[in-house]
Amino acid sequence: MFLRKLCAFAALCVPALFPASAAEPAAQDAVVVDAQTEEILRGAMRWLASKQNVNGSWNESDSRRANHPVAITGYVLLAFMATGNLPEEGEYAKQVKAGLDFLLDSIGVDGQYRSVDGGQYMYSHGIATIALGELYGQSRNPIIREKLQRAIRLIVTTQSDRGSNKGGWRYQPRPGDADISVTVLQVVALRAAKNAGLDVPQQTIDDAVDYVRRCANPGGGFAYQAGHRLSGFSRTAAAIYSLQVCGHYDDPLVKPASDYLFERHNERRFWTYGANYAAPAQYMIGGDTWRRWYDLMKGELLPRVQRNGEMVSWDDREVGNIYTTACNTTILAMPWHYIPLYQR
């Protein structure tokens, strides 16, 4: 199963540095990872590997605001997967296996992750569950499936059922308030689990789509919450990707939102968070849209690289350098098509 999935999503341009399988990859993307970008990705993976803790986690330990080991581990695991590494395959298989074990050990019988800031719990829950969903989908490990199902069940049962918030999620693992930045994480986690064969109620997906649509504003942008009028780059990126992962690729809101992202890509507030969703959203549109967006991201990210010998990272003021380096690595590696979730 893994080899078949990898054949379906890998690209001819994947270099030998990150071999995920001996299988022949599928059709080549018109957008490729050039030699300069590949060299930066090599350095970023070395740097991320060097930052792993002895318990398998990654964490921005130098900042109380960013003390989120479950979330940061989820982001880093996605970066390793984006460059062709899995628990038993790739140059960094050992690091991926340790990170996976950390997340699995963190899940309680109720589906909640331990050692997570309760004030913003669902952020961590969403990204960690996305990583587990992708790892299960490419390994079919029954241990992952059982714990992944617990985490998915919690997402389903904590979806809001109240008024204009119906269909969304917010910080706490209980039905109530909702916003687009938390909702996108839960929606992507549900899609990853559904792709991997787990049961996800269609009504949950449909209600989430309705919530996202209620956040749309005139002009292509999306608001932070339904009924709000202020649009922004990061929330629009989250919204458009939410619609796409729910299967609404041709929704009439998608194209105006894509145009809005081009117009507002210099908006710095929560830029890394937004860029992390804008990239797969523009990729799913494909063609010239994806080519222009990838070139835009290279122009933004490559000049900001911080070098330390053979290691590469990015500075960040949102959450921390590990988070930003993981997100930027995932974006730049997207033409390699190693993550099934990032597919058309």
The per-residue pLDDT for range 32-79, each reduced to its tens digit, is 999 999 999 999 999 999 999 999 999 986 655 567 999 999 999 999
pLDDT of residue 343: 74
In contact, 161 and 176? CB cutoff 8 Å: no
Task: Give the DSSP H or E segment for 82.
Answer: helix 69-82
Question: What pLDDT is stored for residue 62 in this prediction?
Answer: 60
Q: Residue 179 pairs with which residues in a beta bridge?
A: 169
**What is the model's pLDDT at position 15?**
32
The confidence score (pLDDT) of residue 317 equals 75
* 307 vs 319: CA distance, rounded Å: 20
How far, CA to CA in Å, does 138 sit from each of 20, 104, 133, 321? 11, 16, 9, 28
Stretches where the chain sits below pLDDT 70 are: 1-28, 61-66
Looking at residue 66, what is its pLDDT? Answer: 60
232 three-state secondary structure: strand
User: Considering only CA atoms, which of 142, 151, 152, 184 is closest in space to residue 167?
Assistant: 184
The 10s digit of each residue's pLDDT in 169-219 is: 999 999 999 999 999 999 999 999 999 999 999 999 999 999 999 999 999
Domain chopping of the chain, boundaries: 2-336
Q: Which CATH number fits domain 2-336: 1.50.10.20, 1.10.10.10, 1.10.10.60, 1.10.3720.10?
A: 1.50.10.20
Q: Provide CB contacts within 8 A for 4, sequence distance 6+.
A: none
